[in-house]
Amino acid sequence: MRFLLGLLLLSSPALALDGGTSAGADQPLSRAAVAIQAVSPQPDGTARLSECTGVLIARDLVLTAAHCLDEAAKPEHVAVFFFAGSKAVPPFQPVAKIVRHAAHTKGWAKQPGDIETRQKEIASDLAVLRLKTPAPAAQTVLQFDAQTAPDVLTLAGAGIAGPDGRSGTLKTASLAAIRHTQTGPNLAFATPGKSQVCRGDSGGPVITATGALWGISGAILRATKGCSGRMVVVPVNPADFAIAAMIAAARTP
């Protein structure tokens, strides 16, 4: 199973966000972002694969979108890859523990829901992974930025590069038309400029102009063949009780 996880990502062509800019090796964002694969073994002997992006929030903790891990029954079904510039590099990092947001609804995107319910589901679509071993010294941990409503945001993602593309390479895109919710859960709706967010970009870090982590890519809206020009950013504040509880639980053996 571990061999399968590594082979699937590293054998993929180097493509990602549909558009965007390939991440440079000198960018802290490229040293903080990770690629995540989750495999679900099927009764017929095959395996279902889910791919997402994530970000280091501590040397042994990764933040990502919880829906990426809905198919992962055990931590050993998940592998984390670090980047050297825009390319994911071996070896993969095994996962010791998965902690999902207490209000996460498994499979929420596949079920109907009104606007209020959907916003709550997106806002709680978070998970923290504890790595079995700390990240190498070359990787960077992003600090949090607790700004209320920043108007300059940048996304990093390693998802597919368009409807016919493959995943595996980290790209960045500046967000535009940012609209913060005024009521209900704290979310930000945006477009990735002239790019598209695609399947596999979920969980990717969204940083402010200071380079600090403000949130993650939570959902793509009205996707066509896995890609869309509209997305939702889920802000992440470690002072929030639910976020703090996830981090504390991930630290528990």
Residue pair 66/246 in contact by the 8 Å Cβ criterion: no
Give the model's pLDDT for residue 150.
96
Whether 5 shows a pLDDT value over 70: the answer reads no
Whether 9 shows a pLDDT value over 90: the answer reads no
Whether 162 shows a pLDDT value over 70: the answer reads no
Provide, rounded to the nearest whole percent, the portion of the chain with pLDDT above 70.
91
pLDDT tens across 81-137, in order?
Answer: 999 999 888 899 999 999 999 999 999 888 888 889 999 999 999 999 999 999 999
Amino acid at 164: D
Give the model's pLDDT for residue 249.
98
Domain ranges of the chain: 2-15+24-131, 154-235
Question: What average pLDDT does the segment 65-88 reach?
Answer: 93
Do 2-15+24-131 and 154-235 share a fold? yes
Query: What is the dotted CATH code of the domain comprising 154-235?
Result: 2.40.10.10
What are the angstrom distances between the C-alpha of 111 and each of 40, 102, 106, 225? Answer: 20, 19, 10, 19
Provide, rounded to the nearest whole percent, the portion of the chain with pLDDT above 90.
61
Least confident of 70-74, 78-82, 118-122: 70-74
Give alpha helix (H) positions in the chain: 2-10, 28-32, 115-123, 241-251
Give the model's pLDDT for residue 184.
86
Question: What average pLDDT does the segment 76-84 reach?
Answer: 95
Question: What average pLDDT does the segment 209-231 reach?
Answer: 89
What are the angstrom distances between the C-alpha of 14 and each of 72, 87, 89, 104? Answer: 25, 7, 12, 32
Give the model's pLDDT for residue 14.
31
Whether 170 shows a pLDDT value over 90: the answer reads yes
pLDDT tens across 21-54, in order?
Answer: 888 888 899 999 999 999 888 888 788 888 999 9
**CA 89 to CA 42: how far, in whole Å?**
27
> Model confidence at 145, in pLDDT bands (50, 70, 90)?
very high
What's the whole-model pTM score? 0.90
Q: Which of the listed CATH numbers 2.40.10.10, 3.30.420.10, 1.10.10.10, 3.40.720.10 matches domain 2-15+24-131?
A: 2.40.10.10
**Residue 249 burial (10 A CB sphere; 0-12, 13-18, 19+):** middle
